[in-house]
Amino acid sequence: MDKNDPESDRMFGPLVFEENNYSQPDCATKCLLCEDTFNLKISIPLFLAHIFDAHNIVIEDGESIENLHEYVTYWRNRFKHSPVEQIIPSLDVGLSNQKYLIMSSLLKEDKELRHKLKLEYALKVQEFERIDRNYIKPCIFCKLIFEGTRHGFLEHLSTQHNLQLGNPQNLVYITELIEIVSKKISDLQCIYCEKTFPEKSVLKEHMRKKLHKRINPAKTEYDKFYIVNYLEPDKTWQTIQQEDDRYALPRGAEPNSDEEYFDWNEKEDQITCLFCQNKDMNINTLCLHMDADHDFDFVLLTQHLDFYQKIKLVNYMRKQIHNNKCIYCDVSFKSFALLEEHMVTQQHYRLPDLKVFDQPEFYFPTYENDAFLYLIDDVED
């Protein structure tokens, strides 16, 4: 085999998922209104020019429609039963008053079809990224040349470097996401606040201390990479979150009012104790506090746990304390004061059995943005 032959690479090289081509199946597609056929995988502009010149039809953003073949087939079947002029709005153009039919998302049926195709394509990409084991990528932080799945690469970034890009099961277009993050770090730019630094060591220290080893959810450029943003038309995760969290507003507060964000005053780099409201900017100091005041040596008690188990433990403990439940015996109390008294007298500031908290539900629950989680691997032994 000639290594310099590009055909050899295509035949024997690793499987490559080409997003731009994968969305268009390699098959003949009949025109919306006539019997002319086109291969949309290679000739979308030719097809769009044909329907414009021959049928006075314009498909808005036609080249960006996922699976244009299915889109065209759907409308071709619709036009067999109803005249196109009764379905698609027209627009008069020029002095000749030539009418052009505009197929766009302004038509509800068209909008719903585009959304369906977009979601189906994103799910196909997500499934491919989950099972493809031919992903090769140098680590962003260390000298490792990673080979395996994209999920495995994200796990490496998370466990070895505490870089949190999100639950791989909730991500899509991971290859592009990793490239964006890699370029920013290569350009010495923080991925959260986007400040630029003079050298990599300074950048890494900034991201560690400021808890910036994560994506800023306010940056809309990242919306593409979270599957939740594809579930409903015109709804992003922020919209869905607001709908789900209305019950959490303080009594009498209006949405988007100052009262809604009454608990957002905590400094970004402060960490809260797992048992009380004591805060500190240094996780090691906070661990010393928990050992001295709560008889809970986090470092010693969790030394046998891996990174993911520690995250689940922290989430479990946060939930138990929030619900006034003992972390060890799961008994409920009417107040935090009674819970605290129980845990002291019964010496229940102890680690529960592993099977109690080592559950999937405690990996990415409500507490996933807890500052404590981002510093778990920075606790000094």
Q: What residue ranges in the chain does DSSP mark as E strands?
A: 28-30, 37-39, 57-59, 90-93, 98-103, 135-138, 145-148, 271-272, 279-280
Identify the H or E element spanning 307.
Answer: helix 307-322
pLDDT at 38: 94
Question: Which of 106-110, 254-258, 308-312 is the least confident region?
Answer: 254-258
In this prediction the pTM is 0.57
- Pick left, alpha or beta for residue 280 (phi over 0 → left; psi -120 to 50 → alpha; otherwise beta): beta
pLDDT greater than 50 at residue 172: yes
pLDDT tens-place string over residues 68-77? 999 999 999 9
Please give the radius of gyration of the chain, using alpha carbons only, rounded to the nearest integer.
Answer: 27
Question: Which of 107-116, 194-203, 258-267, 299-308 is the least confident region?
Answer: 258-267
Side-by-side strand order, sheet with 57-59? 57-59, 98-103, 90-93
pLDDT at 262: 41
Average pLDDT over residues 364-376: 59
pLDDT tens-place string over residues 219-239? 889 999 998 888 877 766 666
- Pick left, alpha or beta for residue 208 (phi over 0 → left; psi -120 to 50 → alpha; otherwise beta): alpha
Average pLDDT over residues 109-125: 92
- Alpha-carbon span 24 to 17, nearest angstrom: 13
pLDDT at 270: 75
Identify the H or E element spanning 63.
Answer: none
Question: Which of 250-259, 278-287, 316-325, 351-360 is the least confident region?
Answer: 250-259
- Residue 74 contacts residue 82 (beta carbons within 8 Å): no
Average pLDDT over residues 357-373: 65
pLDDT greater than 80 at residue 60: yes
Give 43's pLDDT tier (boundaries 50, 70, 90). confident
pLDDT tens-place string over residues 255-276? 444 443 344 344 445 788 999 9
pLDDT greater than 60 at residue 16: no
- Alpha-carbon span 137 to 145, nearest angstrom: 6
Write the single-letter amino acid at 56: N
pLDDT greater than 50 at residue 112: yes
- Alpha-carbon span 371 to 273, nearest angstrom: 10
- Alpha-carbon span 327 to 317, nearest angstrom: 6
Question: Which of 7-11, 30-34, 268-272 is the least confident region?
Answer: 7-11
List, in sequence order, the alpha helices (H) in 132-199: 150-161, 174-186
The percentage of the chain sitting over the pLDDT mark of 70, rounded to a whole number, equals 78
pLDDT at 231: 82
Average pLDDT over residues 171-182: 95
Question: Which of 17-31, 166-180, 239-253, 298-312 is the least confident region?
Answer: 239-253
- Alpha-carbon span 221 to 213, nearest angstrom: 17
pLDDT at 22: 53
What mean pLDDT is reported for the chain? 82
pLDDT at 375: 65
pLDDT at 243: 56
pLDDT at 93: 67
pLDDT greater than 70 at residue 142: yes
